[in-house]
């Protein structure tokens, strides 16, 4: 049996750092204490003017390529999870493919909001398992700060920019053990934007100002509920117990949600990769960013078992059990 296995990880964060105190100085009606208590966030990174989602993704991809010990030309499948594409088309994945110099294979974007990377990872896993891909590049990248209303403290304090990437290669040894994807469109209004290509714009008005809207309390409840369900599902699918998991690598949306998931798994917070304090919620980039941080910090070791999970607008949620 052929498995897909993570051969290398990489990440990139823009140079500009925006602290909670910086937000206060900008006139946002908030405080460092208010943000930390409710989210655990201390700072976030913001893309520079002219710095595109594809630029962030390319830099993360190159680090993953180096870590995997491969050449970019070996990549035959490129998939990118994002809600902040460079342009409507072509896909940002196509732009990254061109920048890396590995044309010819499929390249596509996946938009499942903050769950986008997890969806992309599941798709790439199937490609590698089936033999359709011998070397897949999977990325999550966002420049979501360009979609924020900086007067809305319920959203502007949460999000940041960044990118993460993994290289998947075929292996006879178990790597990705299972992936699980879900969505329920009945909860669209919990976390969304109201403007798109075919709706929301008014005649004779500039096509700009796409803003993120969120019902925070409802999102929190839905996230805890769905992540609890997917934890049970993932464990049962692999006939595993909570104690079999070495690391939880969660979506970095809110420290309280991360802690609630860890409690569900009966895991100590020392077994959880947490980057939300330094990165904020980087949406599709948050799981691969956290994964790369765990690997490069020396916490996550080869042979250990990880549970990755995420949730996002849609409402979407997904998980993966992985032996690193």
Note the pLDDT of residue 301: 98
pLDDT per position as a tens digit, 77-104: 999 999 999 999 999 999 999 999 999 9
Note the pLDDT of residue 211: 80
Quick one: average pLDDT of 1-25?
Answer: 97
- Dist CA 254 CA 218 (whole Å): 13
Structure tokens at 242: 């909570």
Note the pLDDT of residue 213: 85
What pTM does this model have?
0.96
Note the pLDDT of residue 264: 87
- Dist CA 141 CA 242 (whole Å): 30
Residue 195: pLDDT band (50, 70, 90) is: confident
Given the residues 20, 111, 254, 281, the one annotated as active site: 281
Q: Is the pLDDT of residue 210 over 80?
A: no
In sequence order, the 6+-apart residues with CB closer than 8 A to the CB of 268 are: 262
pLDDT per position as a tens digit, 256-281: 999 999 998 899 999 999 999 999 99
Structure tokens at 297: 């910090």
323 — phi, psi (to 5°)? -100, 115
Residue 60: pLDDT band (50, 70, 90) is: very high
Quick one: average pLDDT of 108-114?
Answer: 98
Residue 205: pLDDT band (50, 70, 90) is: low
Compare 193 and 181 and report the one with higher pLDDT: 181
In sequence order, the 6+-apart residues with CB closer than 8 A to the CB of 321 are: 176, 177, 178, 234, 237, 238, 240, 245, 305, 306, 307
Work out the mean pLDDT of the chain and round it to a whole number.
Answer: 95
pLDDT per position as a tens digit, 224-243: 899 889 999 999 999 999 99
Note the pLDDT of residue 208: 53
Given the residues 114, 135, 279, 293, the one annotated as active site: 114
Given the residues 45, 180, 251, 293, the one annotated as active site: 251
Note the pLDDT of residue 203: 62
CB burial of 254-287 (b: ≥16 within 10 Å; e: otherwise) equals bbebbeebbebbebeeeebbbbbebbbbbbbbbb
Among 15-19, 51-55, 198-202, 303-307, whose mean pLDDT is lowest?
A: 198-202
Note the pLDDT of residue 212: 87
In sequence order, the 6+-apart residues with CB closer than 8 A to the CB of 120 are: 79, 80, 81, 110, 138, 139, 140
- Dist CA 237 CA 315 (whole Å): 22
- Percent of the chain's residues with pLDDT above 70: 96
Compare 151 and 171 and report the one with higher pLDDT: 171
Note the pLDDT of residue 292: 99
Residue 207: pLDDT band (50, 70, 90) is: very low
- Dist CA 231 CA 317 (whole Å): 11
299 — phi, psi (to 5°)? -70, -55
Quick one: average pLDDT of 66-74?
Answer: 98
β-bridge mates for residue 105, sequence order: none
Q: Is the pLDDT of residue 64 over 90?
A: yes
Active site residue 180: no
pLDDT per position as a tens digit, 288-298: 999 999 999 99
Residue-range domains of the chain with CATH: 3-173 (3.40.47.10), 178-323 (3.40.47.10)
Structure tokens at 286: 């948050």
- Percent of the chain's residues with pLDDT above 90: 86
Q: With residue 19 as reference, give the H or E element that holds it.
A: strand 16-19
Active site residue 279: no
Active site residue 251: yes
Note the pLDDT of residue 198: 78
Q: Could you tell me the CA-to-CA distances from 213 to 45, 49, 146, 190 in Å, in that order?
A: 20, 23, 14, 8
Residue 197: pLDDT band (50, 70, 90) is: confident
């Amino acid at each position: 049996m052929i498995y897909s296995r993570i051969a290398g990880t990489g990440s990139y964060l823009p140079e500009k750092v925006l602290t909670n105190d910086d937000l206060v100085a900008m006139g946002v009606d908030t405080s460092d204490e208010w943000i930390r208590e409710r989210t655990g966030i201390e700072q976030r990174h913001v893309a520079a003017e002219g710095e595109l989602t594809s630029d962030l993704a390319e830099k993360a991809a190159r680090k993953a390529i180096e870590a995997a010990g491969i050449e970019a030309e070996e990549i035959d499948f490129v998939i990118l999870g994002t809600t902040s594409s460079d342009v409507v088309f072509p896909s940002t994945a196509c732009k990254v493919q061109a920048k890396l110099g590995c044309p010819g294979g499929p390249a596509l974007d996946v938009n499942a909001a903050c769950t986008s990377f997890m969806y992309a990872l599941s798709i790439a896993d199937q490609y590698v398992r089936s033999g359709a891909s011998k070397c897949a590049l999977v990325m999550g990248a966002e420049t979501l700060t360009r979609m924020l209303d900086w007067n809305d403290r319920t959203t502007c304090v949460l999000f940041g920019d960044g990118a993460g990437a993994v290289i998947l290669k075929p292996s006879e040894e178990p790597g990705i053990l299972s992936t699980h994807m879900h969505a329920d469109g009945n909860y669209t209004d919990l976390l969304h934007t109201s403007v798109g290509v075919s709706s929301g714009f008014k005649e004779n008005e500039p096509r700009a100002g796409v803003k993120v809207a969120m019902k925070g309390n409802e999102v929190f409840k839905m996230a805890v509920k769905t992540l609890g369900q997917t934890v049970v599902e993932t464990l049962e699918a692999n006939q595993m117990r909570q104690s079999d998991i070495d690391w939880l690598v969660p979506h970095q949306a809110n420290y309280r949600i991360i802690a609630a998931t860890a409690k569900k798994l009966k895991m100590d917070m020392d077994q959880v990769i947490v980057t939300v304090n330094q990165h904020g919620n980087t949406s599709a980039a948050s799981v691969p960013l956290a994964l790369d941080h765990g690997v490069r910090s020396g916490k996550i070791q080869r042979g250990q078992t990880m549970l990755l999970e995420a949730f996002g607008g849609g409402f979407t949620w997904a998980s993966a059990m992985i032996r690193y």
